[in-house]
Amino acid sequence: METKEFQFKGTVINGFLMLFVNLAVLVLSIVGIVKSIILLDATNGAFGGWLLGGSILLLVVDIIMWCGLMQLEPNEARVTTWFGKYAGTFAKAGFYWINPFYGTKKLSLRARNLDAEPIKVNDKIGNPVMIGLVLVWKLKDTYKALFEVDTQTMATPSQGTTGSDVKSIMNALEKFVRVQSDAALRQVAGQYAYDDEDGGAGALTLRSGSEDINQLLEQKLDDRLALAGIEVVEARINYLAYAPEIAAVMLRRQQASAIITAREKIVDGAVSMVKMALDKLSNEKVVELDDEKKAAMVSNLLVVLCGDDSAQPVVNTGSN
């Protein structure tokens, strides 16, 4: 999206220099006031009056000049306005002085973290699931953050005042991010099934397609948060589970699927072991077995190898 932010182009003076100048003017105005009071008590009252007026005016100007001093730390910015008109963004760290009639609002450009509480959504086939995300974001466009989104009035709704300090404005942006993250998460979660059993073999699901899902979620968040000049650094799903009302049923389904898979492996292994036993007995001519005895032996071995309980062997010592 097109940005309207630009760098502040007004007069910027070193803050330490202006600090020295302001102190000098302050001392000069105080000395002038004291001197004028002395002159008013003396014979030269007219000159004392002019000196008093000039000193007071100089003191008022000095007080106004003190308001132009500002300090910026790394990854902070000052959005300036000239009687309501946007005048640029100043983001150079240090101690400076600008025209005190510029209105300024400080914003933080540092990365912020949002750990959203899991919310209940319906997946593609309607199963209720609990899903949460962790989001790392930072402010990229200060113009949009202040003038495209109503962060100033929604910053402190409980007090009914306009939020102008950096903490209030950033908290308002965080509320905006939280609401939009909730909406984007619901949109993404509703497009995919929870797992392969619901979505079909080979289909992208919330459980199996974590990287693809995270990329899609990040893209959706970028589209939604671009309105407020916010850049998404990273967005990831950090919690995924069935909703409590169906969790027990889905757990039994997963257990049944696991049991079936385990039984298939057991049967495959048992068949290969029986075949190996029969081939070894036949090749080494340990015993000659007809088809009926082979069938009985296969049945007994499969029962022993596939059974859940340990086998209780019966030793045949021969017939009477």
Name the E strands within 33-178: 69-72, 76-82, 85-90, 94-98, 103-108, 112-115, 119-122, 128-139
Q: Give yes or no: residues 119 and 181 share one domain.
A: yes
Identify the domain boundary among 72, 106, 140: 106
Identify the domain boundary among 192, 215, 242: 242
Q: Give yes or no: residues 236 and 293 share one domain.
A: no
Examine residue 318 and state whether it is found in any structural domain, yes or no.
no
Identify the domain boundary among 221, 242, 263: 242
What is the band of 311 on the pLDDT scale with cuts at 50, 70, 90? Answer: low
Examine residue 50 and state whether it is found in any structural domain, yes or no.
yes
Q: Higher-confidence residue: 80 or 155? A: 80
Q: Give yes or no: residues 267 and 221 share one domain.
A: no
Q: How far apart are CA 48 and CA 40, in angstroms?
A: 5
Token reading at 307: 């059974």
| Domains identified in the chain, total number | 3
pLDDT of residue 154: 66
Q: Give yes or no: residues 224 and 275 share one domain.
A: no
Examine residue 176 and state whether it is found in any structural domain, yes or no.
yes
Q: What angle do CA 120, 126, 128 make, to 5 degrees?
A: 25
Determine the average pLDDT of the residues in 235-249: 79
Q: Higher-confidence residue: 2 or 162? A: 2
Examine residue 209 and state whether it is found in any structural domain, yes or no.
yes
Q: Is the pLDDT of residue 250 over 70?
A: no
Share of residues in the chain with pLDDT > 70 (%): 77
Domain that holds residue 39: 12-106
pLDDT of residue 123: 84
Look at phi and psi of residue 231 and say left if phi exceeds 0, alpha if psi is from -120 to 50, else beta. beta
pLDDT of residue 112: 92
pLDDT of residue 13: 92
Q: In what order do the strands lie in the sheet with 94-98?
A: 12-14, 94-98, 69-72
Q: Is the pLDDT of residue 317 over 60?
A: no
Q: Is 286 in a helix, a strand, or coil?
A: coil
pLDDT of residue 1: 57
Q: Is the pLDDT of residue 267 over 60?
A: yes
Q: Is the pLDDT of residue 229 over 70?
A: yes
Q: Is the pLDDT of residue 161 over 50?
A: no
Q: Name the least confident of 68-77, 179-188, 250-259, 292-301.
A: 250-259
- What lies within 8 Å, CB to CB, of 198 at 6+ separation is 123, 124, 125, 127, 205
Nearest alpha-carbon partner for 150 in 230, 229, 228, 232: 228
What pTM did the predictor assign?
0.71
Q: Give yes or no: residues 97 and 138 share one domain.
A: no
Q: Give yes or no: residues 98 and 51 share one domain.
A: yes
